[in-house]
Amino acid sequence: MGKRKTIQDFRQMKQSGEKVTWITSYDYHMARMANEVGINMILVGDSVGMTVYGYPGTLPVTMDQIIPHTEAVRRGAPDVFVVGDLPFGAYHANVEDAVMNSVRFYKECDVDAVKLEGGKRVTPQIRAIADGGMLVIGHIGITPQSSAVMGGFKAQGNTAEAAKILLDDAVAIEEAGAAMLLVEGVPAETGKIITEALSIPVMGIGAGINTDGQLMIVSDMLGLFETFTPKFVKKYANLANEIRIALQQYINEVHEGKFPTSEYCYKMKTGEADKLKAMMMKS
Ligand code: KIV
């Protein structure tokens, strides 16, 4: 635990080389644990669509769906910098939507920043949100909301030409007033070049070790999400297995009459059961 970090803290960390730690979270309990161990940032990502709701992708997620998750995370993590992720459709039509939905995150969930996906094409939205006095984080590289256009979740910025396009996007995002940038699924070399080119903090998920900080999807790193595992995911635990073992043991113990033993049972005061039996005999 500790004091909630500010954007100024993250800028200083970029200068000093101290790495920022960032995970996703979608519920109170995970957020509380992240708060306890001193994670710097939490993203309430639209990955909630896949990790919690079982959708095949992030596109169905709505503002009304992600808001309660963000509120719960804020309650669990009062000392962590919380980021609300603008879902597909929440900022695509115009800058007014982008501002209004960012305002919703701030007013209803007390977030510290919002995030949106895309390069130069979303700079008007970034500028409008920043002009509204809110912190906004850009997101380039693999951008799951446009995975259909990208042909799936494929690494981006692999060639000099592709990396240059990403770099130009990154510079445009900084110039539009973004407070931070997230780069996803690019070679480590591309991650390093973008990080060094920008004065704002650059976070990476699958962007190598040289970014100013790392983001991991909590369900991936804890081994809870088993549908697929991107190359850049390190599993720090295998909770899905632990859960299956626990559930199987519960089933076995109930079937075998081993659960609940007396330590898990409430007990009547001495004599009350006999008294009840006598009352039942009379009636
Ligand atoms: O929604 C999310 O968790 C994200 C990550 C994929 C970066 O945006």
Is residue 194 within 8 Å of 167, Cβ to Cβ? yes
Q: Across the chain, what does the average pLDDT equal?
A: 97
The alpha carbon of 183 and the centre of ligand 1 are apart by a number of angstroms equal to 10
Query: Does pLDDT of 152 surpass 80?
Result: no
Ligand 1 in reach of 212 Cβ (< 6 A) = no
DSSP tag of 140: E
Looking at ligand 1, which residue's alpha carbon is closest to its atom 3? 45
Looking at ligand 1, which residue's alpha carbon is closest to its atom 1? 45
Ligand 1 in reach of 46 Cβ (< 6 A) = yes
The alpha carbon of 197 and the centre of ligand 1 are apart by a number of angstroms equal to 23
Ligand 1 in reach of 184 Cβ (< 6 A) = yes
Ligand 1 in reach of 129 Cβ (< 6 A) = no
The alpha carbon of 259 and the centre of ligand 1 are apart by a number of angstroms equal to 41
- Cβ–Cβ contacts within 10 Å for residue 58, how many? 22
In whole angstroms, what is the distance from residue 45 CA to residue 24 CA? 6
Ligand 1 in reach of 24 Cβ (< 6 A) = yes
Q: What is the pLDDT of residue 148?
A: 78
From the list 18, 71, 184, 226, the catalytic residue is: 184
Q: Of the candidates 63, 156, 163, 159, which has an alpha carbon nearest to the alpha carbon of residue 105?
A: 63
| Minimum mean pLDDT range among 94-98, 147-151, 227-231 | 147-151
**Residue range 105-129: average pLDDT?**
98
- Beta bridge mates, 85: 115
Q: Burial level of 220, CB count in 10 A (0-12/13-18/19+)? A: buried
Task: Indicate which atom in ligand 1 lies nearest the CA of residue 144.
Answer: 6
Is the pTM higher than 0.85? The answer reads yes
What tens digit of pLDDT does each residue of 207-266 get?
Answer: 999 999 999 999 999 999 999 999 999 999 999 999 999 999 999 999 999 999 999 999
Query: Does pLDDT of 150 surpass 90?
Result: no
Ligand 1 in reach of 183 Cβ (< 6 A) = no
Q: Is 174 a catalytic residue?
A: no
- Reported confidence tier of residue 1, pLDDT bands at 50, 70, 90: low
> What sign does the dihedral 143-148-150-151 (CA atoms) show?
positive
